[in-house]
Structure 1
Amino acid sequence: MQGWQQCFKKILAVMVAGLMLGVFTSTSASADDDNLQKIKDQGVLRVALSPDYPPFEFQVNHGQGEEDVGLDIDIIKKIAKDLGVKLEIENMSFSSVLVAVETGKADIAIGGINPTPERKQSVDFSNIYYNGGQAFLVTKAKYKQLKSAKQLNGHTIGTQTGTLQYNLAKQRYTKSKLVGMDKGSDLVLALKTNKIEAMGVEKPVAEAYVQNDPDLVMFQSDYDLSSDETGTAIAAPKGSTSLIAAMNQSIDQIKKEHLISKYMKDAAKDMKTNTVDTSMLHYWNYFFKGFQYTLLISILAVMGGVILGVVLALMKMSHFKILSWPAISYIEIVRGTPMMVQVLLVYFGLGVVVNLPALTAGIIAVTLNSAAYISEIIRGGILSVDKGQREASQSLGLNHKDAMRFVILPQAFKNIWPALGNEFIAIIKESSIVSIIGVTDLVYELNVVRADTYRGVAPIIVVMVVYFLMTFALTRGLNYLERKMKYE
């Protein structure tokens, strides 16, 4: 037992050292002021953003497919054009956009980002390109009681997690209950279902919701802030002096030519386009695309999980500690940490060494997670096979490898089929966590549709039905195979 503990500590030490080395490598790379030249050499400007924040960035449905539009999209198109490079948009959760810049997954990040002192410790910022102010949203029913920001203290306030609005509300309304959520669409749904009483948000976003949702009312905040604190800017890696200077030139030109007002008018037109037809049938291609990605991730994760699970199970059962200890350590670490953390580690952590696409990173993370659980299921199945089967195999002259391949494992899989089926179903549902890094699965498309249509419940119901049909069909198929195996 003591030897196992020492081994486990060594493994953890190696992991921590590896992560520290990756962070150091990332930090050292970002300290060199060659980011602008790298972008020009590659001919591509990679931008991280979360397309669920109208009018800054959102997606418009043209019937044939979605397109990223909004104030921020027009600004980065202008910057890319001025730099003479192509634009590549990396869609992901808002909580991940700054991490993407820090780890080199993106060159810059945009998305109504306020350059707070805390954020400036991790990334550098361009000049302020827009300042719309702060506001609150309430329902028309609640507006009878809450008509100004001065009355909010003591009421439940919702804001997006990790934003300036969250910190401001925490400091200003000390008697209020503060609720943080990752998505603005989730906050609006919470507002309309009375889970929160007011929603703190930037004024342009509040205006967009009020214009497209007759049940909502907006009023100004009472925060006493400077323009630098409430304005929005573009984030870049630390030390990117030349890149920041180039972006500032484009921003100065945008201001000089008064393009912001034009961009906002274009965003307003696109928002109206989305609200002409908000039926879920109009967005069928969104859900179908999400279904395809969810199915692809699940199938590949199951296949990879079974193969790796068999290897881990055999390693753990080995009498050689050099094989059993790594397997035990891997299984315990994976089962002892949330899948969300594992997805972020694979995408951003490994991204320091290898620039993995979001889909590839998502498949790898789900596969590695599933393998740990499947390995224990397989190990239990192997142990459930009667010892007499092993003895019979030996009497027939089969070596250990052939006995395991032709006798033990086939019987083990027959015994564990129900448990294995449950794991397959769990993978389909749990794979939704990959949406946090921008994989366009069902949950990702759900949030996009909710942001575009300003409808909170209908998209959720559609996705629930799709998930149910997927798992129901799989359950029926697994039950059929289980009955068939009983007769063989």
Structure 2
Amino acid sequence: MKKKLLILQAIIMMLAATGCSAEDKGKSVESVDDLPGATIGVQLGTTGDIYASDYEAPEYGSTVERFNKITDAVQALKQSKIDCVIADEQPAIASIETEPGLVILDEPFALEEYAMVVAKDNDELLANINDALVQLKDDGTLDSIIANYIGDDTKGKTPYVSPEGTTYENGTLVVATNAAFKPYEYYDGNEVVGIDIDIIRAIGDILHMDIEIEDIEFDAIISAVSSHKADVGIAGMTMTQERAKSINFSDSYVTSKQVMIVRGDNASFSNIGFIDKVYQNFVQNDRWAYVLSGLKNTLIIALCAVILGVFIGFLVGIVRVAHDKTGVLPILNAICKLYLTIIRGTPAMIQLLIIYYVVFQSVNISKILVAVIAFAINSGAYVAEIIRGGIMSIDEGQTEAGRSLGLNYRQTMIYIILPQAVKNVLPSLANEFITLIKETSICGYIGLMDLTRGGDIIRSQTYEPFLPLIAVALIYLVIVEILTVLVGRWEKSLRKSDR
């Protein structure tokens, strides 16, 4: 014990000697000139990401860390994991409202123009949107919408209201956005609001089209529009040459700038009590509803995917075993091997995106159904190999005994081999089910509200990195523990026949 204490003391002294503390770590950024050699945080796929990438060149020596949300980048800066954050001005202002230890430098990093995105082959819609934008600029509606969210004099005083008698006989305009970009798009209760949302609703009124908002990851917006999963993308998106290669931009509707968020000279961070944080994250504005809604979808997807995945896995596993044992079904076995190779060799997230944006590109299908199909196909590959391994582990004498009793191959497999195989592989199947439940956390990439995304929405509103994540983690833990107990009892009941 004394030796362990001496070792611990030596480590502490070494850390103190090298100055390895959170406060001393990192480089001070006070202007654009300080960015070379700095660690820069950005939101993945944003203009800040594009601009910051230039500093990754060898002559600059900077490191760019890419986060899915500005919230995460700001928290990394707060914890001295990075030196600055490059972000759009208004979201940057919103992200540090409750963080007095962070400041925005007066020097702008870059100026930019925001525009909407439309698919390359949808010129008619693009022309209609541009005509509507001209009308909104001329009659002052655009300025009124922006002033309702930005500025001290008119903020909150001029909410957009659809003109009386507006009809929507021209159908629905599906709009892709990323509701974590306050004040352009963000959640207010269960509703997505903001500058961009009001603008697109005003355009919808002019075009006599109803608006349907799809909240997805920012870097998936262009893919959603180009694959016609959405008609329009609007998310404070800057016109760039690279993006214009795969998408068409509307006329600009607002000018913004990229700014740099840094730690202040006298960094002091707010430290509200735990109870107040719980209230702010879950009770205030009924934010618990995001978690509850996400939990419901997670359970539906996981349960349906497990049932369908087991069915697929059993079929594939039986085909593989039949070929291995008797050499029959060579074509089906080759197809099954190809399926196993592709599914086990590619990430589940890629499979989900391919099924949603490619396989069902031109089909209007429920996102929950897409998720069920994707996760069932993914899980089925692993279940198939688990089942095959379980069947192959059964002594060949069991098969011979069944045949000697007059049972054919199918009867022997159903009544003798499979019951023993399932008993042997039940722990492995339980592990696969647990993995499947946790893998559903990637559903946010297709704009589906799952448990993890519910926590992300809360974080995007409260800028609190700890409690929403812990709450989501605890819920997953409870689900997994319940499943573990149920499988354990099932396994125990099956083992009674071994006595």
What TM bracket, shorter-length normalisation?
Answer: 0.5 to 0.7
SS in 2 for 1:356: coil
Q: Does 1:294 align with 2:298?
A: yes
SS in 1 for 2:48: helix
Q: Does 1:234 align with 2:116?
A: yes
Is the Cα contact below 8 Å between 1:191 and 1:198 reproduced in 2?
Answer: yes
Kindly state the Cα deviation for residue 257 of structure 1 after the two structures are TM-superposed: 3.2
User: In the alignment, what sits opposite 1:157?
Assistant: 40
Which of 1 and 2 has higher RCO (CA within 8 Å, sep 6+)?
1
Change (3 A) 1:241 1:480: same
Q: Counterparts in 2 of 1:202-281, with a 5 A limit?
A: 202-223=88-109, 230-267=112-149, 278-281=280-283
Q: Counterparts in 2 of 1:440-459, with a 5 A limit?
A: 440-459=449-468
SS in 2 for 1:211: coil
Kindly state the Cα deviation for residue 156 of structure 1 after the two structures are TM-superposed: 0.7
User: In the alignment, what sits opposite 1:75?
Assistant: none
Residue identity opposite 2:83 in structure 1: E
SS in 1 for 2:124: helix
Q: Counterparts in 2 of 1:350-365, with a 5 A limit?
A: 350-365=359-374
Is the Cα contact below 8 Å between 2:39 and 2:84 reproduced in 1?
Answer: yes
Q: Does 1:325 align with 2:325?
A: no
Kindly state the Cα deviation for residue 441 of structure 1 after the two structures are TM-superposed: 0.6
User: In the alignment, what sits opposite 2:405?
Assistant: 396
CA distance in 2, matches of 1:337, 1:343: 11
Q: Does 1:304 align with 2:304?
A: no
Kindly state the Cα deviation for residue 223 of structure 1 after the two structures are TM-superposed: 4.2
CA distance in 2, matches of 1:463, 1:336: 29
User: In the alignment, what sits opposite 1:13?
Assistant: none
Q: Which runs of 5+ in 2 are unaligned?
A: 1-21, 151-155, 157-182, 190-275
Residue identity opposite 1:238 in structure 2: K
User: In the alignment, what sits opposite 1:373?
Assistant: 382
Change (3 A) 1:395 1:273: closer
Residue identity opposite 2:420 in structure 1: Q
Kindly state the Cα deviation for residue 405 of structure 1 after the two structures are TM-superposed: 1.4
Q: Does 1:177 align with 2:63?
A: yes
Task: Give deviations 1:296-316, integer Å, cap 9, x for gaps.
Answer: 111111111111001001122
Is the Cα contact below 8 Å between 1:149 and 1:220 reproduced in 2?
Answer: no
Residue identity opposite 1:403 in structure 2: T
Residue identity opposite 2:54 in structure 1: Q
Residue identity opposite 2:337 in structure 1: I
Change (3 A) 1:273 1:215: farther
Greater fraction of residues in helix: 1
Residue identity opposite 1:234 in structure 2: M
Residue identity opposite 2:331 in structure 1: I
Change (3 A) 1:331 1:176: same
Is the Cα contact below 8 Å between 1:140 and 1:217 reproduced in 2?
Answer: no
Task: Give deviations 1:366-402, integer Å, cap 9, x for gaps.
Answer: 1100000000000011112222221221122211112
Change (3 A) 1:221 1:359: farther
Kindly state the Cα deviation for residue 222 of structure 1 after the two structures are TM-superposed: 4.6
Aligned-pair identity (%):
34
SS in 1 for 2:365: coil
Match of 1:189 among 55, 59, 75: 75
User: In the alignment, what sits opposite 1:313?
Assistant: 317
CA distance in 2, matches of 1:293, 1:234: 30
SS in 1 for 2:80: coil
User: In the alignment, what sits opposite 1:411?
Assistant: 420
User: In the alignment, what sits opposite 1:285?
Assistant: 289
User: In the alignment, what sits opposite 1:199?
Assistant: 85
Is the Cα contact below 8 Å between 2:306 and 2:379 reproduced in 1?
Answer: yes
TM-score (normalised: structure 2): 0.65
Residue identity opposite 1:308 in structure 2: I
Change (3 A) 1:183 1:194: same
Change (3 A) 1:247 1:140: farther
CA distance in 2, matches of 1:468, 1:457: 16
Kindly state the Cα deviation for residue 140 of structure 1 after the two structures are TM-superposed: 12
Residue identity opposite 1:165 in structure 2: G
Kindly state the Cα deviation for residue 150 of structure 1 after the two structures are TM-superposed: 2.9
Is the Cα contact below 8 Å between 1:305 and 1:367 reproduced in 2?
Answer: yes
Task: Give deviations 1:156-191, integer Å, cap 9, x for gaps.
Answer: 111112222112122257332111122222212222
Kindly state the Cα deviation for residue 244 of structure 1 after the two structures are TM-superposed: 1.1
Does 285-294 or 373-382 show the bigger shift? 285-294
CA distance in 1, matches of 2:110, 2:473: 43
CA distance in 1, matches of 2:149, 2:395: 68
TM-score (normalised: structure 1): 0.66
Residue identity opposite 1:210 in structure 2: I
> How many residues are paired up?
346
Structure with higher Rg: it is 2
Residue identity opposite 1:376 in structure 2: E
